[in-house]
Structure 1
């Protein structure tokens, strides 16, 4: 492999990196490197899964022009990296090298260790004398450290065809975030749509490894997403659209055996591309669910609710919904989650949860048009009040989780959820059937809205905050544990964790189709420590 690196000519790098390659003589990390924004590193840099002593670094290199994502072309190359305590890279804390090539689509991961806890670092990569843009990252607090505050960006459901990623731009412009939590649907599998704001590449539905690699590359070509990745470490998990709609362990609603190949092959391609292109400690065949610790203040358990789940129930009357043999999380992951909640040493137990866990009964009084729109937004709603693609369709698993919280007296558990293109603040009833009377809550759930993906107003074809209001009112009336609901807004959330409370601020975009869209604070809800309840709170965090 080293011989192939040496044979990579300066002319080839010039073609890949443009005039910036001319500064190669200034050294591996020359003084002009910080200004580079494209060239061999056109897909940016990223970091993720921070630990007290380390963090995962990511990039993708294009060593020669033909080595485009998904092509399988180009030489193996050695990419160097370094981590510094200062933005000028005068105090280097760690450095190393990684060899990459077409076998992993020229993506690079470096799992850096030996860093100081709770510390900001800057990092960059280089290949053949050309350096990447610099990124910034932060390690987690030391085990047992007393932490007074954490702030996370929380996002999900970012469909490039539906709009621009202004939400990411706003998060990147903040200077108070320790982490961004992406709860799934980081990208979408759909083919190019006629009315797309930005048509997908490739223009077909993703089914092969080449497709998934190209789509990941297209999303990481977005300047706002690149800026956010370069600014803050991420903790990510997948939902369904990283592979196919309503995916389960043996198939997906959006997969046809035969004409689209086998599900096993398609899922393997999706998971390989995800492992290559995302800043996460995951490799194909491993497990995505994991736990990140932040001193004594919080633990964040990131779930995988697609790989192990049983097939969705056929309809809400299906007795399979309550079958204890069916699962959404898989026996091993469910045991890992519940035991972790019981034995956690941190105060706040945060759960990165791709699909909603709070029970939701959909009112039968809604008009057929509204029920149809809800079904298109949330999943199958065949008459009764269930979305069988979320925890409502796997009630035995949910009962086990909520029962563990109740029976072991676990306090301060908050599920952070995406998926359903809407904003919710809800309590988790120990017994949903008696909740209006007993008000026994064992936890809380805060749901972020979509970055761009269609909300109820778009599906209904009505202006925002008009036709959805009656639906929201009816759902809250039938579900007293749901304290807040917004079916229309796009944007992002900011989560603050302190010993006193976990609080989420929702910010909404003026226009998802405008790359320069402003954002405004919409509402804030908090979960005061020890209460397992959600309550509306004041102005946006500063």
Structure 2
């Protein structure tokens, strides 16, 4: 694993100066990583002293003919290289129509290489649409747990229902992942994770659990941190229940990052991008993503579409990699000239064009923007006479946000719904071009999900901060408990159930549905039904 050694040398060298040539040489070398996954020789019958499938199995990015099947060989998952030797290993995979594998419909061999952390990403195709399948892996005499996955309906069909959940923000130190225990009982078609899958901070004492090591920076650091999270049995079990769509926010890399700009302004951009390359590679290794998302150095394309027949189309966005620096020094402020600048962007030019093009072409009944930071323009001033807004969220890019809402209205995009994470609280927002003008029409609906565990238990009040709702008529609901959002979508309506956990600081917390909201097709905006 010499690339780790060279990177650490470069990180240290940059304290006295790193040339652009050195940095470009490093990132060019990283672009060769995809080639390394095609080993010319790999061991066919490895022997393991302990279970190599400690991190479980997962599937993701489903379409009507297949999906990605994932695992990673790691008999010692919290060691730097997972307890694996520096050699490639062949891993057999199979997928069946039944959980007992009496009817195997596809199988093959994938190579797990040390260069990609002995992870396996199998892109299965040629399956039947709208079907459930079961899958497993074998390496030597070791066999993985069985996972369940599914294909999506055929592109030209209108299925009667989609049932999925979305979640975000799971700080290992601040609570147990109890929400996944309830989610596993919901019989979902899909899970959407909106980011902050891990947290990069160093371990602290007197927490519910403790991160291993200091703040993570090297590839080994990020691999071990991901492994510590994925070793959680509740999270692992939920990955095995159904396919996931994943995207990141900031903590998969570094808090409040903006493109190549660190929250700590003194960090050299080249050093920051090398750390980002480490974070992105580890993220790819640990997620059920297609090869089209494989990182190239410090760049990784994660925005993509995921249709569910003609019922729903997910546009999975990335609001971190391409964004402008937060205006007004990332402090809460009014929507001043800096916040309203046309040059501010969360999406970047290329992703924004892709999104608009996708929305024009879509024929789905529901168009879903699965993304990270809140789009609702929420005034957080409280008793202060001057309104203030979060500059890390869409109000910090107000011009781009308003143009996007205008686009949705002008192009008459069918039933736009925004899914959001990031802020460790539940919200339901009616979105207008300018949320400050309540006389204008509602264009879209935003459902914001709370954290799985970040922030501890939060406040138990059913509806917190009445002042926020009074000052912001666009806000239909606000709550700060922990949990996730379960969505049931039909051609006629969308229902979001806000599931909360009463205590995530100890195992066995109880789940309940705090609120339910309904959106009717053709009528943007949510109304409460429970």
Instruction: Please state which band the TM-score falls in when normalised by the shorter chain.
Output: 0.7 to 0.9
Paired residue for 2:526? 534
After superposition, the C-alpha distances for 1:424-456 in whole angstroms (9 at most, x for unaligned) are: 111101332321x33x1010000111100116x
> Which 5+ residue runs of structure 2 have no aligned equivalent?
1-38
Structure 2 equivalent of residue 308 of structure 1:
322
Cα distance, 1:339 vs structure 2: 2.5
Give yes or no for the alignment of 1:183 onto 2:194.
yes
Question: Does structure 1 retain, via aligned residues, the 8 Å contact 2:78–2:228?
Answer: no
Residues 119 and 320 of structure 1: is their aligned pair in 2 closer, same or farther, counting only changes over 3 Å?
Answer: same
Instruction: State the SS of the aligned residue for 1:506.
Output: strand
Counterpart-to-counterpart distance in 2, 1:72 and 1:329? 38
Q: Which residue does 1:79 correspond to in 2?
A: 91
Q: Shift of residue 153 of structure 1?
A: 1.2
TM-score for both structures, normalised by structure 1: 0.85
* Partner of residue 106, structure 1: 118
1:405 maps to 2:386 = no
Report the equivalent of 1:447: 448
Residues 525 and 101 of structure 1: CA distance in aligned 2, closer, same or farther (over 3 Å)? same
Partner of 1:237: 247
Report the count of equivalent residues.
483
Pick from 155, 179, 187 the counterpart of residue 167 of structure 1: 179
Secondary structure in 1 aligned to 2:43? Answer: helix
Q: CA deviation at 1:245?
A: 0.5
**Pair 1:224-2:224 in alignment:** no
- What's the CA shift for 1:361? 1.1
Normalised by the length of structure 2, the TM-score is: 0.87
Task: Specify the alignment match of 1:246 in structure 2.
Answer: 256
| Distance in 2 separating the partners of 1:75 and 1:409 | 54
Q: Provide closer, same or farther for how the CA distance between residues 41 and 2 of structure 1 changes in structure 2, counting only shifts above 3 A.
A: farther
Corresponding residue for residue 44 of structure 1: 56
Give the corresponding residue for 1:21: none
Q: Secondary structure of the equivalent of 1:327?
A: coil
Is residue 49–residue 234 contact of structure 1 (8 Å, CA) maintained in 2? yes
What displacement does 1:309 show?
0.3
Range that drifts further, 338-347 or 102-111? 338-347
Which moved further from structure 2: 356-365 or 398-407?
Answer: 356-365
Query: Partner of 2:432 in structure 1?
Result: 429
> Against the structure 1 CA distance between its residues 384 and 61, is the aligned structure 2 distance closer, same or farther, given a 3 Å change threshold?
same
Deviates more, 1:340-349 or 1:77-86: 340-349
Residue 291 of structure 1 is matched in structure 2 by: 305
Report the Cα distance in structure 1 between the residues aligned to 2:78 and 2:157, rounded to whole angstroms: 49
Equivalent of residue 512 in structure 2, options 502, 511, 520: 520
4+ residue runs of structure 1 moved beyond 6 angstroms?
Answer: 63-67
Partners of 2:259 and 2:80 in 1: CA distance: 31
DSSP-derived class of the 1:226 partner: helix
C-alpha separation in 2, matches of 1:83 and 1:426:
41
Aligned to 2:279: 270
1:339 match: 357
Q: What is the distance in 1 between the residues matched to 2:245 and 2:54?
A: 22
Contact 2:74 2:84 in 1 (8 A): no
Q: Pick from 471, 477, 499: which aligns with 1:484?
A: 477
**What is the distance in 1 between the residues matched to 2:41 and 2:320?**
42
Structure 1, gaps ≥5 residues long? 18-38, 368-382
Q: Is the 8 A contact 2:375 2:395 kept in 1?
A: yes
Deviations 1:469-489 (Å, cap 9, x if unpaired)?
3xx211111110111111x20
Instruction: Give the aligned CA root-mean-square deviation in angstroms.
Output: 2.2
Partner of 1:509: 501
Determine if the alignment matches structure 1 residue 155 to structure 2 residue 147.
no
Q: What is the CA-CA distance between 1:235 and the residue it aligns to?
A: 0.4
Matched, 1:319 2:337: yes
C-alpha contact (below 8 Å) 2:90/2:111 kept by paired residues? yes
Deviations 1:78-129 (A, max 9, x none): 0110000111111111111111122111111101111111100000001012
- In 1, the alpha carbon distance for the partners of 2:346 and 2:358 equals 18
